[in-house]
Chains A and B, each alone.
Chain A
Amino acid sequence: NAGVIQTPRHKVTGKGQEATLWCEPISGHSAVFWYRQTIVQGLEFLTYFRNQAPIDDSGMPKERFSAQMPNQSHSTLKIQSTQPQDSAVYLCASSSLSQNTLYFGAGTRLSVL
C-alpha cells in the first residue's frame, strides 16, 4: 500500500497562472479530503468527497478554487489565476467510511511568484 499519493511535490507558478494538484487516495478508501497548510492559518479544511460526490466544500474559497473527483482513484484541486496568497502546502487525505481515521499524503508545496 503506497499510501496517499500527491503530485507534484512542488509546484511553482507565476501570478495569474493556473495550478492543478493531483491526489490518488488509498485504494478502497471512499472519502477524500483536501486541506491547506500555512504558517499563519495552520491547517484549514477545504473540501471533502464521499464516493466521488462532493459533500462539503465549506472551506473552499468562493473564487478561483475548484475540486473534482472524476473517479475513485484520483481527485484534483485546481486553482485558477493563482495569487501569491495561494502559496501553501496543499494536503490530501483519504479515509474508509468505516473509520474516522484520515491518512494524509505528503502534500504539494505551491509557490506563486
Chain B
Amino acid sequence: GEQVEQRPPHLSVREGDSAIIICTYTDSATAYFSWYKQEAGAGLQLLMSVLSNVDRKEEQGLTVLLNKKDKRLSLNLTAAHPGDSAVYFCAVSAASSGSWQLIFGSGTQLTVMP
C-alpha cells in the first residue's frame, strides 16, 4: 500500500526565513495531495490541497510543489512568523471515487523563533 515519508521531523527557523517540508510517496496512482496544520490541542486545519494535474500552487505565503516524476510533495512557508509554529502534516490519497482514505506523513514540528 501507499507509504508516505515526511521530513524533517523537526524544523526551527528565524522569523522571516522560509521553511520547507518535504513528503515522498510510493503509489503512482496518488491523485490528491494536501497539507494540514495542527496547533497544540487542536484538530487538523487544511492549509492547501492540489490534484495531480497541478505542479505548483501558491496561496497566502504558502507554496505547494508537486513533482510526480520523483513522487515528491513540498510545502514552502515564505517569511515564516511565530504564529506558524505548529505541526504540519502532508496527506495523500488515490482519490478514486471509492478511495477516500487519506494517508498521512509523520508530521513536522515547526518552530519559528522571533
Contact = CB atoms under 8 A, between A and B. Distances in A.
Interface string A5-46: 010000000000000000000000001010000000011010
B98 interface: yes
Interface residues of A, number: 24
Interface string B38-55: 000111111001010000
B47 to A, nearest CB: 11
Nearest to B44: A104
Nearest to B41: A106
Given A43-B89, A91-B43, A107-B43, A102 B106 contact: no
Contact of B43 (A42, A55, A59, A105): A105
Nearest to A107: B43
B88 interface: no
B5 to A, nearest CB: 11
Interface in A21-77: 31, 33, 42-43, 45, 48, 50, 55-56, 58-59
Contact of A45 (B49, B95, B102): B102
B67 interface: no
B46 A103 contact: yes
Interface residues of B, number: 24
A95 B100 CA distance: 10
B101 A56 contact: yes
Contacts of A33: 100-102
B104 to A, nearest CB: 4
A79 interface: no
B46 A101 contact: yes
Contacts of B41: 106
Given A6-B43, A42-B104, 18 more contacts: A33-B100, A33-B101, A33-B102, A42-B105, A43-B89, A45-B102, A48-B100, A59-B101, A100-B34, A100-B51, A100-B95, A101-B34, A102-B44, A102-B46, A103-B46, A104-B44, A106-B41, A107-B42
